[in-house]
Chains A and B, each alone.
With several copies, the nearest count.
Chain A
Amino acid sequence: MSKRWEVRLIGTGGQGIVTASIILAVAALREGNNVVQSQNYGPEVRGGYSTAYVIASESSILYPKIDRPNVLLVMTSTDYEKYLRDIDDNGMLIMNGEPGPEKVPDNVYFIPITNIAHDEVERPITANIVCVGAVVGLTGMVSEAAALAAVEEHVPAKAVKINRRAFILGVRAAREALAKREASATS
C-alpha cells in the first residue's frame, strides 16, 4: 500500500455499513498498515442515514477524519452528481445500482450491490459484504485474500459460506466494471 486510502461508505442504519468498514480496516491492518475506522450515527443511534469510513496508510494516522475521501461508496442513491464534489480530485465514486443512459465520468462506477445480494446471493443482508468485495475489487487497497479473511472473521460462523460468496460476487462485479471501463476507454 503506497498511498493513503480514505474510504467512505454511505448507507442507512441497518445496512451493515459499519461492519463493512471494519472489515476493510482489519484487512488493511493485517497487511501491516496503520488504520483508523469510524462512523457517524444519526441522532443518538436512531434512524436516518449512517456513514462509516476507513483510513489506511503506511505512515501513522493522526488526524482521524476524512474531508474528501478518495473512495466514496454510496448505497442509498444513484444520483452520482450530488456526490462528485465530495470526493478528492483523483477520487473514485462507487454507486449502488445501474447507471442511467447518459455518459458517466471515468471515476464513477456503478455496481448493483443490492441486486447482487438480493438476486445472486439471495440474502439481502449480505449487501455490505458485496460492498466490501466491490471496494476491494475496484481499488485494490488490500489484497483479496486479506479481505476475505477479514470477512470470514466478522460474520457469524454459520454464515461464512454465504458471505464468502457475497464477497466474491462483489469482487467479480468490480472486475467487470473495470473491464468495461477499460474497454470503453480504449474503444
Chain B
Amino acid sequence: MAEAKLLSGNDACVQGALAAGVRFFAGYPITPSTEIANAFARELPGRGGIFMQMEDEIASMGAIIGASCTGTKAVTATSGPGFSLMQENIGYAAVAEIPCVIINVMRYGPSTGLPTSPSQGDFMQTRWGPHGDHPVIVIAPYTAREAYRETGRAVNLSERYRVPVIVLMDEILGHLRERVEFRDEDLVQEINRKGPDPDSTFLPYEYTEDGVPPFANFGTGYRYHITGLIHDETGFPTNNPVEVDRIMRRVNEKIELHRRDIARTQFVEVDDADILVVAFGSVARSAHEAVRTLRQEGKAVGMVRPVTVWPFPDEDIRKAAAGKKAVIVPEMNLGQMVREVERVVAGTVPVHALNRIDGLLITPQEMRDLIEDIQ
C-alpha cells in the first residue's frame, strides 16, 4: 500500500474497513454517504463478503447487528436522516454489546436540510441520539488517510469493547479526493472480539477484569440469549435493582476504563500558544491551516483536535487550555462542541465560539480574523 493514490474520504473508509476485516455491509443510499455503499457493493462479493441493500436504515442497522452475532465484522453508512432513524437499534447494539460500525457522513440538517452541503450538526446527536444512557465511541477523521486508518480503528475498537462505534465524517471529507500514501502506522491490524474461554463455563455477560465479556458467535456451540431488555450476566432479563445497576454501570463505564486506548487527540503547537483552537473534522483542516500561517507570522497559536470526539477528551482539553488567553471553538453548527469545551474549562479561560451555518466551510481567514480580534 505504499504507492500514493488519489482516494476520497468515503472510499478511504471502505478501504480501512476492509483492511480491518469487515465482510458485511448493509445500507440504504443517502447523499453524501452513497459512495460508501457503492464501493462496498463492488468490493465485498469478491472477498467472501456480502453487500446488502436493505429497505431502509432501520433495517440496515438491524442487519449489521444480526451479522455481527455470527462473528462477521459489519458496517453501515448513512447521513443525517438515516442516522436519525438508526438510533433505536444503535441503543440496542450498545446495551446488548454487539460490535458494529456506523459511518455518518454529515450533511446539513435538520430533516432533508441541504443534502449536498456539509455540516457538523450531528455532533451532539452522535452522543445523545438514542434514548437512555448508553456507551458510545465516536471518531472524526479529518483527512482521507485518517479516514482509512480511523475506520479501521473503529472496527477494532468495536470488536475489542463490544460497542457500536460511529465514524463521524462530513460531506467535505466524504467527497474530496486527496493524495494518500500509507505509512506503516496506517496499516490496519485486524483485532477480533474475545471469544469464550473453552475451559470455563460461558457467561455471555460475565464481569471480567477489562469490563468486556467474551462474545460467542452464533453457531459455534454456545446457545445463549441476547436481548435489548436489561439483563444479568447470564444474558436473561432482570429487573433486580442491584443487577440492573451493576450491569448498566459496567456497560457504560467500560468506555472510561479504556479511555487511553480509545482516545486519540492531536496537539498542534499547543505548548507555547497563547490562543488555542479546538476543532474537529473538516473544520480542523481550516484551523490547522490558520495555525500554520499564523505561526509563520510569529503568532503563538495552537490547535487541539479531538480525533476521538466521544468520549470527549476532557483532560486533554483542560490541560491544553490551562493558562491560555483564549480558546476558540470553530464549528459548522450553532455551537455544539463548544458546550463541552465550556464545561471542561469551567470558566478558567474565555471560550469563543465561531459558527457557520450557511452550508459552507469556515475559512482559515475567518479564524485569523477572530484571533486578531481577541488579541
Contact string, B223-239, partner A, CB cutoff 8 A, digits 1/0? Answer: 00000010000000101
A65 touches B361 (CB 8 A): yes
Contact string, A21-46, partner B, CB cutoff 8 A, digits 1/0? Answer: 01001100100011111111111110
Sorted nearest first, the 7 A-B pairs with minimum C-beta distance are A38-B176, A63-B289, A62-B289, A37-B177, A62-B285, A36-B178, A62-B288
Complex CA gap A40/B171 in Å reads 10
Complex CA gap A37/B285 in Å reads 15
Interface residues of A in 32-86 (CB under 8 A from B): 33-45, 61-65, 67
Q: Determine the interface band of chain A, counting residues with CB < 8 A from chain B.
A: 20 to 34
Chain A: minimal CB distance from B322 (Å): 26
Residues of B within 8 A of A35 (CB): 6, 177-179
Residues of A within 8 A of B175 (CB): 38-39
Known contacts A29-B4, A43-B116, A62-B292; A37 and B178 CB within 8 A of each other: yes
Query: Chain B: interface secondary structure?
Result: mixed
Chain A: minimal CB distance from B119 (Å): 15
Complex CA gap A63/B362 in Å reads 9
Contact string, A142-181, partner B, CB cutoff 8 A, digits 1/0? Answer: 0000000000000000000000000000000000000000
Please tell me if B84 contacts chain A, counting CB pairs below 8 Å.
Answer: no
B285 touches A63 (CB 8 A): yes
B178 touches A63 (CB 8 A): no
B116 touches A22 (CB 8 A): no
B285 touches A38 (CB 8 A): no
Chain A: minimal CB distance from B166 (Å): 22
Residue in A closest to B142 when the chains form the complex, CB atoms = A62
Residues of B within 8 A of A67 (CB): 363
Known contacts A38-B172, A40-B116, A45-B31; A63 and B286 CB within 8 A of each other: yes
Chain B: minimal CB distance from A123 (Å): 25
A62 touches B286 (CB 8 A): yes
Residues of A within 8 A of B363 (CB): 63, 65, 67
B176 touches A36 (CB 8 A): yes
A22 touches B177 (CB 8 A): yes
Query: Can you list 23 A-B contacts (CB < 8 A)?
Result: A25-B6, A25-B177, A29-B5, A29-B179, A33-B179, A34-B178, A34-B179, A35-B6, A36-B176, A37-B6, A37-B177, A37-B178, A38-B172, A39-B175, A40-B116, A42-B116, A43-B229, A62-B288, A62-B292, A63-B286, A63-B364, A64-B285, A65-B361
A64 touches B178 (CB 8 A): yes
Known contacts A43-B116, A64-B172; A22 and B179 CB within 8 A of each other: no
B116 touches A61 (CB 8 A): no
Please tell me if B49 contacts chain A, counting CB pairs below 8 Å.
Answer: no
Known contacts A26-B6, A41-B116; A64 and B237 CB within 8 A of each other: no
Complex CA gap A34/B6 in Å reads 10
Please tell me if B33 contacts chain A, counting CB pairs below 8 Å.
Answer: no
Chain B: minimal CB distance from A51 (Å): 12
Among A33, A35, A39, A63, chain B packs the most CB atoms within 10 A around the CB of A63
A43 touches B292 (CB 8 A): no
Residues of B within 8 A of A43 (CB): 115-116, 229, 237, 239
Interface residues of B in 174-206 (CB under 8 A from A): 175-179
Complex CA gap A25/B176 in Å reads 11
Complex CA gap A61/B143 in Å reads 10
Complex CA gap A29/B178 in Å reads 9
A64 touches B176 (CB 8 A): yes
Complex CA gap A37/B9 in Å reads 11
Chain B: minimal CB distance from A76 (Å): 18
Residue in A closest to B229 when the chains form the complex, CB atoms = A43
Residues of B within 8 A of A33 (CB): 179
Among A26, A29, A64, chain B packs the most CB atoms within 10 A around the CB of A64
Residue in B closest to A61 when the chains form the complex, CB atoms = B178
Chain B: minimal CB distance from A41 (Å): 5
Please tell me if B282 contacts chain A, counting CB pairs below 8 Å.
Answer: yes
Chain B: minimal CB distance from A55 (Å): 9
Complex CA gap A153/B173 in Å reads 24
Residues of B within 8 A of A22 (CB): 6, 177
Complex CA gap A34/B145 in Å reads 12
Complex CA gap A33/B179 in Å reads 8
Chain B: minimal CB distance from A67 (Å): 7
Residue in A closest to B365 when the chains form the complex, CB atoms = A67
Residues of B within 8 A of A62 (CB): 285-286, 288-289, 292
Residues of A within 8 A of B288 (CB): 62
